[in-house]
Amino acid sequence: AAKPNITGFDPQKLAAAGRKPSAAEDPWHRAEEWRYTGPFTRWNRFKGSFPGLGIATVAFGVYLVYEAVFLNEPHHGEGH
């Protein structure tokens, strides 16, 4: 027979209390569910973080190509 625990500490009860409850056991799960669905998904929240970044990147790339092709002035004997 196992010895009785004089402290009253039960490690199995501690492990059971420390685990994350399942969705069926969590009373707040349904109330918090809306925060991560529809327009509040992680992708939808991130998508609007940098408005205009794509357009600005393309415009900057076009300017770099324009500068390299049309504004490239030759340096004649400047002694650099």
Tens digits of per-residue pLDDT, 1-57? 677 778 888 888 888 888 877 777 777 887 888 888 888 888 888 888 889 999 999
Q: Is 29 a member of any domain?
A: yes
What's the pLDDT at 16?
84
What's the pLDDT at 35?
82
Q: Is the pLDDT of residue 58 over 80?
A: yes
Give the DSSP letter string of 6-55.
SS---HHHHHHHHSPPPTTT-TTHHHHGGGGSGGGSHHHHHHTSSTTHHH
The number of distinct structural domains making up the chain is: 1
What's the pLDDT at 71?
86
Its domain, for residue 40, covers 21-71
Q: Is 41 a member of any domain?
A: yes
Q: Is 56 a member of any domain?
A: yes
